[in-house]
Amino acid sequence: MNYEDLLKEIVLSDERFVVMTAENRSAIRDIPAHLGERFIDVGIAEQAMVGIAAGLALRGRIPVVHALAAFLSMRAFEFIRTDVCIAGLPVKLVGAFPGFLSEANGPTHQAVEDIALMRSIPGMNIFCPSDEEDMLTGLKAFLKSPHPSYIRFNNLEPLIRHDKFHTGRAEVISGGRDITILTYGTLFREACRAKILLSGQGISVGLINLRTLKPIDEETIVNAAMHTSLIVTVEDHLLAGGLFSIVGELFLKHNVGCRVLPFGLDERWFKPAFLQDVLEYEGLTGEKIADKIMEESEKYAEHVEV
């Protein structure tokens, strides 16, 4: 089963659902034939789409809207904030090609600040699956939730079998005494490879797939910080406002101190290229993440000895 199959199953089982798109049908090509008037394509008009979705939701519908993540989260931001979230409407926002998945496109099409924008809105929930299986595992819970929701669409092949989904609860792949890697979305697979490489060198590595960034699993993050020597955040997002910022906020809130090594974009866009080339160039392959973690660990060990 893929995203389109599960979405169709959910939508056909409940007449309240309406599927909408701003001329982005790549993941839902067969849906229109099954939904009739419950499928709406507004063309390249993300703001209008969100406004229409809010109106439909006020009348008891559950709109599931699709657009490129960059244009959905930025161009339609005010409509999401004002029309959807102030009213607390159950509009579901599905952002296609978020972060590094916008491969071969320039900065205009790169959604690397979408998490920062969406999590700044009161009442918004955020789902960042690590692959297609992860997305399908949590999709029904997010679509049936009464809250406004932003979903970072991800149809990558899974590396692992995922646990049962619970909104606001992280998926703990492994615990670690030396290092804990926190990640979500596209880069989960690279973080997983880094864990395998580091474990092969005798390092105890924890790996946590956060899944939902809002609500965030505060308990799991704080517990990891209290029982490990180094927290590593890995994300295809700007460091400002993303997971790195979330971790810093939680440490201040809970009065927790721990070394943190962030992987992400610091005040810059990524160069347009195919995904594997982007990962190589940005130093975000599993191998390069592992190498940098080892380098940081060795520097810290030398500092402690001095």
**How does pLDDT run across 154-180, given as a tens digit for each residue?**
999 999 999 999 999 999 999 999 999
Which helix (H) or strand (E) is 35 found in, with range? helix 31-35
Q: What three-state secondary structure class fits 41?
A: strand
Q: What three-state secondary structure class fits 192?
A: helix
pLDDT tens for each residue of 97-126: 999 999 889 999 999 999 999 999 999 999
pLDDT value of residue 298: 81
Considering only CA atoms, give the Rg of the chain: 19
Question: Residue 152 in contact with residue 130, Cβ under 8 Å?
Answer: no
pLDDT tens for each residue of 254-273: 999 999 999 999 999 999 99
Give 235's pLDDT tier (boundaries 50, 70, 90).
very high
Task: Please give the Cα distance from 82 to 221 (Å, whole number).
Answer: 31
Question: Residue 77 in contact with residue 105, Cβ under 8 Å?
Answer: no
Question: Residue 304 in contact with residue 146, Cβ under 8 Å?
Answer: no
Question: Residue 42 in contact with residue 22, Cβ under 8 Å?
Answer: yes
Question: Residue 85 in contact with residue 123, Cβ under 8 Å?
Answer: yes
Q: Please say if the pLDDT value at position 306 is more than 50.
A: no
pLDDT value of residue 299: 76
pLDDT tens for each residue of 184-220: 999 999 999 999 999 999 999 999 999 999 999 999 9
Question: Which residue type, as a one-letter code, is found at position 171?
Answer: E
Give 300's pLDDT tier (boundaries 50, 70, 90).
low
Q: What is the pTM of this model?
A: 0.95
Segments of 111-229 assigned E as strands: 125-127, 149-152, 171-174, 179-183, 205-209, 212-214
Nearby residues of 192 by Cβ (< 8 Å), 6 or more positions away: 159, 160, 173, 207, 286
Supply angle C-alpha 18, 25, 134, rounded to 5.
80
pLDDT tens for each residue of 1-39: 999 999 999 999 999 999 999 998 999 999 999 999 999
Question: Residue 103 in contact with residue 275, Cβ under 8 Å?
Answer: yes
Q: Please say if the pLDDT value at position 305 is more than 80.
A: no
Bigger pLDDT: 301 or 34?
34
